[in-house]
Amino acid sequence: MDAIVTVVDGKHIVQHIDEVKPDGVENECVEQVAFADIILLNKTDLVSGQDLEQVKTKIRSINKAAEIIETLYSQVPIDRILGRSSFSLDRVLKDLDPNFISDAFSQVNLHDQTVSSVGVTFDYDLDISKQERLIQSVLETTGTDLYRYKGIIPVKGKNKKFIFQGVHMLFTGDFGEKWKRKEKRIGRCILIGKNLNKEDLQTSFAACKAIESRFSIGTRVLVRLDTCYEKGTVKDFWDDGNPYRVAVDIFFKGFDVWAPS
């Protein structure tokens, strides 16, 4: 998969987007626009300048992340639509530059539709174990309503950016390039789908925020291993993204485990 390309009829698209469907019937026109990486806005010769801008505004209200290419007879240079690598994690870094998500993109809803684009930003590091549980929960509960999503996340104890993207429940994520020395560690995410609530998403990310350590290095603690607790000593904080590194007494010298917050 390289990119999802959608051809849009510039003359008639708005009436199809605004078409009210019976309960339980999806507006496929809206979904096609929502899934797209590239939109070929065709028949531009049939739409006046002001009307054309209104069409593009309507499209961006559903999917601001997609590139819009104006065309006549769907003619387009082939290198504009092939070799785009829209599903690569490196591409996410380009799509989510710091200036991409603005206040204007906080949430834009269509008046007759439940599909929206939501941009979320946060200026704190996440606890990797909490982050993993959040992603799993979101995919299980709302995966079918998520059309496209991309994000860059700062993880406590990691000097690399966690980059993810996906379609519905098909999720891909990994650690990519390093945070630059003076770069502010800002989390940035874009989600396109149905019934998305910006405030709920912000709250969910905030619940994954890495918290201050309760125990200092050298503190004697109990660590749960399988079904029982064993004694150990805190050796380090945020080792490879884990809140604690603990030396456990019952094992041979030097046996350490990672422990959650």
What's the total number of domains in the chain? Answer: 3
Query: 56, 80, 104 — which closes off a domain?
Result: 80
Q: Which residues contact 216 (CB under 8 A, 6 or more apart)?
A: 234
Q: Residue 71 maps to which CATH number? A: 3.40.50.300
Does 146 share its domain with 99? yes
Which pTM was predicted?
Answer: 0.78
Is the CB of residue 101 less than 8 Å from the CB of residue 119? yes
Does 224 share its domain with 182? no
Helical axes 128-142 vs 198-206, angle rounded to 10°: 150
Unique residue bearing structure tokens 């390093």: 178
Range of the domain at 247: 220-259
Does 130 share its domain with 65? no
Give me 144's structure tokens.
Answer: 């079918």
pLDDT, tens only, 52-107:
999 999 999 899 889 999 999 999 999 999 998 888 888 888 777 665 555 434 44
Q: Residue 138 maps to which CATH number? A: 3.30.1220.10
**Is 215 contained in some domain?**
no
> What's the confidence (pLDDT) of residue 185?
95
Helical axes 49-62 vs 28-35, angle rounded to 10°: 80
Does 202 share its domain with 99? yes
Does 195 share its domain with 147? yes
Query: 35, 54, 80 — which closes off a domain?
Result: 80
- Tell me the C-alpha distance between 152 and 102, whole Å: 15
Q: What is the mean pLDDT of residues 28-42?
A: 93
- Tell me the C-alpha distance between 6 and 92, whole Å: 20
Query: 54, 80, 106 — which closes off a domain?
Result: 80
E strands, the chain, in order:
5-9, 38-42, 67-70, 107-109, 115-122, 146-153, 160-167, 170-178, 187-194, 220-225, 228-239, 242-248, 256-259
Instruction: Show the DSSP H helices in the chain as ranges.
Output: 13-17, 28-35, 49-62, 89-95, 128-142, 198-206
- Tell me the C-alpha distance between 177 and 173, whole Å: 13
Any idea what the Cα angle at residue 70 is, between residues 166 and 34, rounded to 5°?
25
217 pLDDT higher than 70: yes
**Is 214 contained in some domain?**
no
Does 231 share its domain with 197? no
> What's the confidence (pLDDT) of residue 246?
94
Any idea what the Cα angle at residue 180 is, between residues 175 and 126, rounded to 5°?
50
**Is 213 contained in some domain?**
no
